[in-house]
Structure 1
């Protein structure tokens, strides 16, 4: 042959996604038929797989054809109690960006985030709005509940588009959302009380700064007044000294005039 043809259902450079424990076949066929079967793949099987087919043409030149496939592995996440748990954090959290206190909900408790890791949970508010997680800590993804807090049921779930979640069986409890009721009136009251405490603390700090500035100003005024009084004394002394020198000069001039008369 003058060229090589590789019959393949795997396009060159194609990317495959597989879950841990899957069996995967890369169909690269040539005469004789050939291919690659991966049994019970693991995370360590991630990478590029290349087949090279070489043959002699009619002039005894070696022809080589390469085909590559990329394998990306996903591993399902795991939680401590086999299903998502949604809870309200006992303490409010202060957001320095908005300068507001917030009720915090936590969704977890993840023992393993999967591979690639779950980066957050999806939240649904009582009004039906979908929100992303605000952060994570110690196996929990958190939501800073927007103010004013709306009472009702809040839910969290693993995003359906997460590669790690795609490896979960359809009946896995991790695919079920977790839900809890938030008392809106109580939550809003806690936020208002926290805001009042923060404002009071800020007012006290500003008062202390103002008092300190007043004390500094008073001290500076006293310093300037003292310096001004000293300058006045020095000026009076200098004036007296100048008058004395003028009198002495006049006396000396009189004596000189008397000598030459």
Structure 2
């Protein structure tokens, strides 16, 4: 399959990652293994799609726990035993001996990490608890994290490395909303979820700042389906939990889960 044929399956903004993934596969065909950074679910799908086109390449995804959203991948020749390879994931525990942490959220921890100059792809899932946070990171930068992450949103913290098996997994909390919408169009539901005018949500959607299932979506009229995960840059993300039926007035009842 030519490059143009491969590109036709993906959004133009994804072509750069497609090129990168295709190179990993090509090198694996030449007996070279690659451990990637953390991939989001869309990137993992693209990489899996390309690996499945090769008879001589295999893929192993690992995010540090079975239900991880963000995962690193080994891309390697088919004869290599990937289960015995180091996943390259380290668990960091963030705590504070003196200050309360229950008011800190995912965004606070993410902001503190990015302020250190760390790229997002070096960070896996973040598990926030009332007494602190467990963060999965790429092992090659774990020491840098441990030595430099000392403050989160003006709260002084301690950072230590723990064995992966001590991960305290936290379930994702969703704030449920019941909506009655005229249609399942992306712009209409985004408008209702974030209580913004239709005009205000059209701008970021058309500018490429909205994703559906981790794929950039610029069509405001795209119909959403059960299970879709939608993110709007700067506003957060939500999941379409259930399409419950049509009212007598012809509107559609939808249950939405907003990520906290």
Tell me whether the two structures share a fold, i.e. TM-score over 0.5. Answer: no
TM class by shorter-chain length? under 0.3
Return the TM-score normalized by structure 2: 0.21
Return the TM-score normalized by structure 1: 0.21
